[in-house]
Structure 1
Amino acid sequence: MSSRRTPKTDAGTSGGADRPAARGGRPKDPELDGRVLDAAAELLAELGYQELTIEKVAARAGVTRKTVYHRWANKSALVGELLIRNAEVDHIPDLGDTRSEMRELFAQIVRDVDASRGRLLSSLWATIGDPAVLHRFRTEVLGPRRQYARAAVQRGVARGDLPADIDVDLLIDMWSGTVMFRTEVRADALLASQAEAMVDLALAGCVPRLPRPGADS
């Protein structure tokens, strides 16, 4: 996750930060972008998505509204950028042991759900209503996470520990849905023994299977 940055005086007051957006996107100034995103993160935690405004973010970051709007077209784009920046996307290392790798996969799912709790979770649901934000979140966060998860499951298949016809995407969705429903909807703790039980079921072959050719026709 991105580290916090120390705010500095807005270069835009002399015209530099308020220059027109470069072709194909906002002006490239990672330090200034980080200051705005850090300010948005602070205000999101304090106020929630509904009360967050571009004006408040600009004031907290010490920049002009024009500076923010040159980088993000609206609030959902700004918060979407924040969610993408703060999302963790980690590969699952080849540990030579399917059980260990499935434990790591499940632990990452739990971590990702935990990271989206409270105001951040409500912000996610608000921002994914924006097709552009949803596309970026799918492409830059969900896509890579799913790619790494698939690779770990396929290693288990290659070792003979998981069925060859396992529906990898549905298994990941089932695990993700179980974790989110238990922790977010029921507000109940997911015990380590319960996580282990989910892994045990998978290794016992209790997994969704790909449909046979023509089965869904």
Structure 2
Amino acid sequence: MSLTVSAAGSVRPRSSLVLATVLAVALGWAGCGSGRTVAVPPIRPIIVSSGERLRAAPERVDSIVVWLEAETINIQEDPTFLIRAVPTARETLPWLTLSIEGDTASFQYDRSHPDITTVFDVYAHLHLMKTMGRLDEWLPEHADKQGFELEREVVARIADAWLIGRAAFGAPAYGPLDELIYANEAGYLDPFLLVARAEEFPEERAAWDRDRAEELEAYRTWFRRVFDREPPGLREGAVGQAR
């Protein structure tokens, strides 16, 4: 598949229809002035195979669009860094393949689901901004955090981005990210990360095993009810868990 470098410097397939493109159309970026605002389409419930529904409040969607618009514009237009999105033929999540060298961040994404690249862009962008000492521009209240505390905030951010992609902008279902947004909305983001990525955050996971074992079991029970399978980290071959 041939690749091209966008105005943002991101490497993408020419045929990709990503959420950023949908946002661009909604914004009418071409010839638009500085007061660009996304016109949010009607919000729809998200449904998984178990029948569990997820609804996003309109005011919450509006607040997410504000920062996502600004961050997408920065990713597309800031010449001081490069984000490379490289297609692959497998399911993945942004933390599995992210690499940062200097002012360049690279990740792989499932080429059969190009809509996910906006979410992956945000993840790469925030970690790159941390490396470049610019995270205060995007997460000022969390700019000094490190390790799991920072990762929690970054992943919560991409969960919000995928939430509006699914609920408002017509992004098709993508199992690994759908699991993430359901866990985040149910208040289970911490156990989601610590079960799936226990090897990356051993101290935090050990603390949960010691002090919050009942909450971990409650998360597992909830996940099995909603998705009819074990969560990442407890099922073989699950996307998203540390390798």
Structure with more of its chain in helix, by fraction:
1
TM-score, scaled to structure 1: 0.29
TM-score, scaled to structure 2: 0.27
Who wins on radius of gyration, i.e. which is larger? 1
